[in-house]
Amino acid sequence: MGISSDFPIWDKLTSQQKELIEKSAVKRFAPKGTLLHNGSADCVGLFVIHSGRLRAFIISDEGKEVTLYRLFEHDICLFSASCIMENIQFDVTVEAEKDTELWIIPTNTYKQIVENSAVVANYTNKIMASRFSEVMWLIEQVMWKSFDKRLSAFLLKESDIEQSDSLKITHEVISHHMGTAREVVTRMLRYFQSEGMVHLTRGGILIKDRKKLEKLAEE
């Protein structure tokens, strides 16, 4: 199976563009935990995800992390080619959150196509608008929601992504997603447990009262 079945707007490309991409794209397997893109330090190209999951996040000087968004099957990672996008003045780090198979379209190939194609340029715009929207959601959460609401929204989103009420996730990992201290996460999860919303297990969290969590998240 080639990149044609993974690249979202394949049918809208010209045959010349298709040929160029097919000739230059390489498939890569990234085991869970692989650092695929590290801020402005590299610029390997556009990632197109075949299977698995990527996590895009930012890191503070002190090593604190905040998750910006996740990328799934057929999603495109733009910021791994950010060097060709003028005016991008921030660093995003991207890692494989699960074992991931992805295509890499080299920076030069993509640059050559986007500069001459209104279709590809507008599609790039659409992807950027999507990521922008996720970051705006995050800013609204951080500015205006208390931590209990943010944490309940986070647990519900994780449960939705994993399609399970049983989350295999440590308090430490949650603290990296949310940009807070691990102790704060633990304290709030214990409170959630005392309220019957979750049950804490070794290395995991079981969602017990989804409705109560939803009500808290939406307040």
Residues of this chain that bind a copy of itself (CB under 8 A): 58, 60-62, 64, 66, 85-90, 114-118, 120-122, 124-133, 135-140, 142-144, 179
Tracing tokens 């500069």 back to the chain, one arrives at 115
**Shortest reach from residue 193's CB to a copy of itself, in Å:** 27
Closest CA to 12 of 92, 120, 89, 85: 120
Closest CA to 74 of 15, 20, 4: 4
**Shortest reach from residue 102's CB to a copy of itself, in Å:** 21
**Shortest reach from residue 150's CB to a copy of itself, in Å:** 12
- Please, which residue, 53 or 131, has the CB nearer to a copy of itself? 131
- Please, which residue, 1 or 143, has the CB nearer to a copy of itself? 143
- Please, which residue, 119 or 169, has the CB nearer to a copy of itself? 119
- Please, which residue, 26 or 136, has the CB nearer to a copy of itself? 136
**Shortest reach from residue 2's CB to a copy of itself, in Å:** 25
